């Protein structure tokens, strides 16, 4: 398996960058030194840099094809990505004390907003993005990378729920989470949540703009067109 060293190093570095800061003792020290916003900014910058390294190494890993490419895979990605981008736009800045980095200020448990759709919209967007790209890229390196991202996002939802329950206490957490759901639209289907008001046109526009930007930059930046042949 010669030629896998760079991919393995980037993969391990990316996993450690998420596993180590997640430990309460380590995170606490970093937050005290950098402040909450400084920690989030530094963590995000490091994650993006390591992600870029991992993507580059995956593209240069030895080609081991697990399944052939088909046009439906590209269609799947192009159907999933607008949804993921809308989830990102809807969640950024929205009050949501139930997910990571969420702010409790302005959160109404009776009208939880995007948390009524899914308690962890950013992680759900990551899972959708990664799962669709794992199917569309049948090489071993890409399946390992995107499959791990999807698994990390899905597992992270449950880990955050357990952590928030422990931090808030069962009664407080249950009160805040009563009209939300771990899985998308489960609260709607269960009759625990109904949309209140019209969707924000600004957030809808931002989500669609993000999707169009990613669609436009995909080929020049990554060298592969995301459009079906």
104 and 208 in a single domain? The answer is yes
Which structural domain, as residue segments, surrounds residue 47?
1-62
Please report the pLDDT score of residue 169 as a whole number. 94
Mean pLDDT value across residues 56-78: 91
Task: Provide the pLDDT for residue 192.
Answer: 92
Tokens representing 116 are 């009524």
Residue 142 to residue 130: CA distance in whole angstroms: 10
Residue 69: inside a domain, yes or no? Answer: yes
For residues 182 and 117, what is the distance between their CA atoms, to the nearest angstrom?
A: 9
Query: 48 and 76 share a domain?
Result: no
Whether residues 27 and 101 share a domain: the answer is: no
58 lies in the same domain as 100: no
CA–CA–CA angle 26, 177, 189 (5° rounding): 130
Residue where one domain finishes, among candidates 46, 62, 78? 62
What percent of the chain lies above the pLDDT cut of 70?
97
Distance CA 27, CA 33 (A): 10
Identify the residue whose tokens are 């890993």: 61
Specify whether 34 is located in the same domain as 114.
no
106/188 same-domain check: yes
pLDDT for 16 beyond 60: yes
pTM for the structure as a whole: 0.87
pLDDT single digits (tens) 164-216: 999 899 999 999 999 999 999 999 999 999 887 777 889 999 999 999 999 99
pLDDT band (50, 70, 90) for residue 12: very high
Residue environment code for 186-214, b if the CB has 16+ CB neighbours within 10 A, otherwise e: bbeeeeebeeeeeeeeebeebbeebbeeb
Q: Alpha carbon of 194 to those of 21, 78, 94, 114, 183: distances in Å?
A: 36, 28, 17, 11, 15
Q: What is the mean pLDDT of the chain?
A: 89
Query: Are 196 and 85 found together in one domain?
Result: yes
31 and 98 part of one domain: no
Q: Which two tokens stand for residue 117?
A: 């759709």
Any domain includes 32? yes
In a domain, 102, yes or no: yes
- 2 pLDDT band, cuts 50/70/90, is low
Q: Is the residue at 108 inside a domain?
A: yes
Within a domain: residue 228?
A: no
Residue 79 lies in a domain: yes
* Percent helix, percent strand, percent coil in the chain, to nearest 5: 70, 0, 30
């Amino acid at each position: 398996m010669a030629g896998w060293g760079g991919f393995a190093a980037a993969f391990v570095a990316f996993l450690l960058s998420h596993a180590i800061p997640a430990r309460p003792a380590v995170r606490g020290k970093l937050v005290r030194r950098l402040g909450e916003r400084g920690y989030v900014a530094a963590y995000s910058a490091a994650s993006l840099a390591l992600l870029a390294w991992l993507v580059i190494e995956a593209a240069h890993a030895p080609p081991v094809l697990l399944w052939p490419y088909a046009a439906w895979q590209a269609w799947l990605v192009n159907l999933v990505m607008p949804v993921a981008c809308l989830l990102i736009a809807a969640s950024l800045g929205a009050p949501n004390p139930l997910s990571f980095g969420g702010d409790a200020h302005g959160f109404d448990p009776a009208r939880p907003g995007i948390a009524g759709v899914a308690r962890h919209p950013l992680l759900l967007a990551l899972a959708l993005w990664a799962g669709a790209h794992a199917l569309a890229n049948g090489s071993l390196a890409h399946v390992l990378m995107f499959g791990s991202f999807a698994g990390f996002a899905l597992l992270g939802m449950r880990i955050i729920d357990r952590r928030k329950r422990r931090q808030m206490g069962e009664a407080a957490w249950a009160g805040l989470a009563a009209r939300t759901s771990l899985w998308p639209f489960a609260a709607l289907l269960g009759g625990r949540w109904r949309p209140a008001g019209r969707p924000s046109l600004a957030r809808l526009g931002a989500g669609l703009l993000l999707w169009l930007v990613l669609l436009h930059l995909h080929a020049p930046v990554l060298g592969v067109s995301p459009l079906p042949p």
